[in-house]
């Protein structure tokens, strides 16, 4: 087997992602104690974690089971969902640096059939300020997804749901989350560059960062070894590992990863490693602060107020200085979080038992770790 297949020395290939043996560092022991207690408190099936400071490992481990009598391991792959949005947004900022496109270019030349395309910009798609509804909260979509979890979705089918509704507001006037924005942004980027989105992201982000185990899949397949997932969201506790994730975003951006790659992604995205200082400032606040807030047309639960302390950045979320992404769907939950002031990266994934509370429990584990390692700077993701 080649070095490329297993990951080079010091890399993040599958066989290099191993648990820390006999951790002697006080911080490592504290993190493990916190994680074990959180797993018990939250009744989790498995937890994978990796913590680094200044790029150096504090601890890597996996607790619990992937399946009955199959222990979870750090190198097991899981679905990473919206982590791809952070990578895509970084690739777009690089294109802007190279003057191949401008953030405030309107998208009618690439998306001519999109309503208000002459008012919607690339910046708005990347920052969720278009006013488009979110198909993931559409009752008709949710009913179809629940009834047919193995269905393969096309981008056109996904975007059709929000286009049945009027916009929440005029493009750029407020903020509201919509998965449709990144489906459309991906389509625009592929037309701008002439490169398929998975290849574009590999060329610009995951390749340079040597994230060898962060991969797009055009099918529900998960590379081996796979961390299995289970969920009660359809009313019974069942395996959901191979439910089709094509609804989460456009083809080419439906990714899997492992915990070591997720921690490396947290470091690189959260520090702006692949960006100029100007682009990094845009990543942290692309103009969203001050937007949002309920109106007669858009309730406050949809048009969330964006504040300096808590706002959506450019493909990331920024809370109290933490830069993170937090995918959660089909029984998988994860978070990559980075605190620039301490050069602290926390990556956690979690899977559920039949009695695990609702919500992203990887966030809860990460919050507890953050409270120990960065007291006074809460990872307030709720």
Per-residue confidence (pLDDT) for residue 349, from 0 to 100: 99
pLDDT tens for 116-166 read 999 999 999 999 999 999 999 999 999 999 999 999 999 999 999 999 999
Per-residue confidence (pLDDT) for residue 204, from 0 to 100: 99
Distances (CA, A) of 377 to 21, 38, 262, 320, 369: 29, 20, 21, 6, 12
130: its two tokens: 């278009």
Per-residue confidence (pLDDT) for residue 11, from 0 to 100: 35
Task: Give the burial class of 300: count Cβ atoms within 10 A of its Cβ; 0-12 exposed, 13-18 middle, 19 or more buried.
Answer: exposed
**pLDDT grade, residue 10 (50/70/90)?**
very low
On whether residue 90 sits in a domain, the answer given is yes
Report d(CA 130, CA 365) in Å as an integer: 33
pLDDT tens for 234-292 read 999 999 999 999 999 999 999 999 999 999 999 999 999 999 999 999 999 999 999 99
Could you give the 3-state DSSP secondary structure of residue 367? helix
pLDDT tens for 156-167 read 999 999 999 999
Residue 60 has pLDDT above 90, yes or no: yes
pTM: 0.95
pLDDT tens for 15-25 read 489 999 988 88
- Domain span at residue 172? 26-373
Running DSSP on this structure, what letter comes out for residue 205? I
On whether residue 20 sits in a domain, the answer given is no
On whether residue 67 sits in a domain, the answer given is yes
pLDDT tens for 362-381 read 999 999 999 999 999 999 99
Residue 82 has pLDDT above 70, yes or no: yes
Per-residue confidence (pLDDT) for residue 1, from 0 to 100: 29
On whether residue 10 sits in a domain, the answer given is no
On whether residue 290 sits in a domain, the answer given is yes
Per-residue confidence (pLDDT) for residue 3, from 0 to 100: 32
Report d(CA 152, CA 150) in Å as an integer: 7
Report d(CA 201, CA 207) in Å as an integer: 8
Q: How many residues does the chain have?
A: 382
Per-residue confidence (pLDDT) for residue 23, from 0 to 100: 86
On whether residue 14 sits in a domain, the answer given is no
Per-residue confidence (pLDDT) for residue 8, from 0 to 100: 30
Looking up residue 120, the CATH number of its domain turns out to be: 3.40.710.10
Contact 274, 305 (CB under 8 A): no
Q: Angle formed by the axes of helices 83-97 and 259-271, to 10°? A: 40
**pLDDT grade, residue 47 (50/70/90)?**
very high
**pLDDT grade, residue 382 (50/70/90)?**
confident
Torsion angles phi and psi, residue 255, rounded to 5: -110, 155
Proportion of the chain above pLDDT 70, given as a percent: 96
β-partners of residue 296 are: none
153: its two tokens: 């979705």
Contact 319, 381 (CB under 8 A): yes
Per-residue confidence (pLDDT) for residue 44, from 0 to 100: 99
On whether residue 6 sits in a domain, the answer given is no
- Structural domains counted in the chain: 1
Residue 202 has pLDDT above 60, yes or no: yes
Per-residue confidence (pLDDT) for residue 13, from 0 to 100: 39
Contacts of 337 (CB under 8 A, 6+ apart): 266, 270, 322, 323, 324, 345, 346, 347, 366, 370, 379
Per-residue confidence (pLDDT) for residue 5, from 0 to 100: 33
Report d(CA 50, CA 19) in Å as an integer: 9
Q: Supply the mean pLDDT for the chain.
A: 96
β-partners of residue 60 are: 50
Residue 2 has pLDDT above 60, yes or no: no
For the CA atoms of 334, 338, 344, 345, the dihedral, rounded to the nearest 10 degrees, stands at 30
């Amino acid at each position: 087997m080649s070095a490329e297949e297993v990951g080079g020395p010091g890399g993040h290939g599958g066989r290099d992602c191993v648990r820390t043996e006999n951790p002697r560092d006080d911080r490592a022991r504290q993190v493990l104690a916190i994680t074990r207690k959180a797993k018990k408190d939250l009744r989790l099936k498995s937890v994978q974690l990796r913590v680094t400071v200044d790029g150096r490992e504090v601890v890597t481990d996996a607790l619990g089971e992937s399946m009955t009598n199959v222990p979870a391991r750090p190198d097991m792959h899981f679905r990473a969902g919206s982590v791809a949005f952070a990578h895509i947004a970084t690739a777009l900022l690089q294109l802007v640096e190279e003057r191949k496109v401008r953030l405030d270019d309107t998208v009618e030349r690439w998306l001519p059939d999109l309503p208000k395309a002459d008012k919607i910009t690339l910046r708005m798609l990347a920052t969720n300020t278009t006013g488009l509804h979110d198909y993931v909260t559409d009752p008709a979509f949710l009913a179809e997804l629940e009834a047919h979890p193995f269905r393969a979705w096309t981008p056109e089918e996904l975007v059709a749901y929000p286009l049945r509704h009027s916009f929440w507001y005029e493009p750029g006037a407020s903020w509201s989350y919509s998965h449709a924005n990144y489906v459309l942004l991906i389509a625009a980027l592929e037309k701008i560059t002439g490169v398929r989105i998975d290849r574009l992201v590999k060329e610009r982000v995951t390749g340079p960062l040597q994230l060898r185990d962060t991969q797009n899949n055009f099918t529900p397949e998960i590379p081996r070894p796979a961390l299995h997932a289970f969920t009660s969201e359809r009313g019974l506790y069942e395996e959901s590992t191979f439910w089709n994730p094509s609804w989460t975003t456009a083809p080419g951006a439906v990714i899997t990863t492992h915990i070591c790659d997720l921690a490396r992604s947290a470091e690189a995205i959260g520090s702006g490693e692949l960006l100029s200082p100007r682009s990094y400032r845009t990543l942290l606040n692309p103009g969203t602060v001050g937007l949002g807030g309920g109106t007669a047309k858009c309730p406050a639960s949809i048009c969330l107020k964006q504040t300096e302390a808590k706002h959506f950045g450019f493909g990331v979320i920024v809370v109290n200085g933490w830069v993170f992404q937090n995918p959660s769907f089909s029984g998988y939950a994860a978070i990559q979080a980075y605190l620039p002031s301490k050069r602290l990266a926390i990556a956690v994934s979690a899977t559920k038992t039949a009695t695990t509370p609702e919500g992203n429990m990887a966030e809860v584990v990460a919050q507890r770790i953050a409270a120990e390692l960065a007291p006074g700077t809460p990872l307030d993701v709720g």
